């Protein structure tokens, strides 16, 4: 075990999976010099041009490269540096990657991972700050992963690379330099399994990405006031581990769902709806949702701070359900 940032943990996962399986390669813009967030740092010197592939600035083309190479037996990692840029590649992701196995009657496997970086980071403005994970949760045939810490980031990425289905792997930018203890050896974190990050009996907080960190901070403050919040990180958004979430809600009788993405039609809306569908009789208060307002992300730092949901919004939601 050693202390690693999320960036370093992702880099280590890619390195170890490339060493384990010669079919794994990385393609993307600027990946030979380490990629936009350093997740491919040092890999070109180790694996060369054929396995660390710099591409033209065309997300549609590089994603098509991934689909074609996966269909003939390789295991590509396709780096789309900023999540907003997936808009350019939606045909390849939604119409080809997600549907090819089904349309060919299972004759083709698509072991492809699309890695990308979502969320707000230092006034990057509306075209570089999106959190679009809910788009892909709506598409049958895709798995969607969103880690919140370095340990999960490494294990989930290794599992995604080994998976025979296409995976959208979303890293929140504000999590990249957070750190924790991470095993040096290879390991996997199973896809489709949530984790209780903090146990509690009074309230369930389901949070994704950076909001997991904010939820844990809110839970510490709540504990000082005599309220024990259980914090659950789904880790995989599709398939979603609703069983773990529902078990928690049936115990605590209250729920808040939180993410950085726009609240309207976000992943939190689906989780809240399923809690209402499947655990309504256990609820002592309405399910509350925390998310960003329905507007493009502003550039101005003061407006960006107002836009960004976090601990303050979580505490306001706790007040709304009458626990403080």
According to DSSP, the residues that pair with 256 across neighbouring strands are 205, 288
Considering only CA atoms, which of 252, 271, 253, 251 is closest in space to residue 261? Answer: 271
Dist. CA 209–CA 303, nearest whole Å: 21
Dist. CA 31–CA 44, nearest whole Å: 8
Dist. CA 139–CA 2, nearest whole Å: 37
CA-to-CA separations, 299 to 171, 175, 194, 285, 307, in angstroms, rounded:
21, 20, 34, 36, 10
106 C-beta neighbours (distance < 10 Å), count: 8
Dist. CA 18–CA 3, nearest whole Å: 22
Considering only CA atoms, which of 212, 195, 204 is closest in space to residue 149? Answer: 212
Residues with catalytic annotation?
Answer: 59, 128
Considering only CA atoms, which of 183, 172, 166, 155 is closest in space to residue 14? Answer: 155
């Amino acid at each position: 075990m050693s202390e690693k940032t999320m960036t370093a943990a992702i880099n280590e996962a890619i390195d170890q999976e490339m060493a384990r399986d010669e079919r794994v390669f990385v393609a993307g813009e600027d990946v030979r010099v380490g990629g936009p967030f350093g997740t491919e740092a040092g890999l070109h010197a180790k694996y060369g041009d054929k396995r660390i592939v710099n591409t033209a600035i065309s997300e549609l083309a590089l994603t098509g490269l991934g689909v074609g190479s996966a269909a003939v037996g390789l295991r590509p990692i396709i780096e789309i540096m900023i999540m907003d840029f997936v808009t350019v590649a939606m045909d390849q992701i939604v119409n080809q990657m997600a549907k090819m196995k089904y349309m060919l009657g299972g004759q083709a496997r698509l072991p492809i991972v699309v890695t990308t970086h979502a969320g707000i980071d230092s006034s990057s403005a509306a075209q570089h700050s999106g959190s679009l994970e809910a788009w892909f949760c709506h598409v049958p045939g895709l798995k969607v992963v969103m880690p919140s810490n370095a340990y999960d980031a490494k294990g989930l990425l290794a599992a995604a690379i080994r998976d025979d289905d296409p995976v959208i792997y979303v890293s929140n930018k504000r999590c990249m330099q957070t750190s924790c203890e991470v095993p040096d050896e290879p390991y996997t974190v199973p896809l489709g399994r949530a984790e209780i990050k903090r146990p509690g009996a009074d309230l369930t907080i389901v949070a994704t990405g950076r909001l997991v960190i904010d939820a844990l901070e809110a839970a510490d403050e709540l504990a000082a006031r005599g309220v024990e919040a259980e914090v659950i990180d789904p880790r995989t958004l599709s398939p979603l581990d609703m069983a773990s979430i529902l078990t928690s809600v049936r115990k605590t009788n209250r729920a808040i769902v939180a993410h950085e993405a726009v609240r309207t039609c976000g992943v939190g809306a689906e989780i809240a709806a399923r809690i209402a569908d499947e655990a309504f009789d256990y609820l002592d208060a309405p399910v509350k949702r925390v998310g960003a307002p329905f507007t493009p992300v502003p550039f101005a730092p003061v407006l960006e701070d107002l836009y960004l949901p976090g601990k303050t919004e979580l505490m306001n939601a706790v007040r709304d359900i009458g626990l403080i």
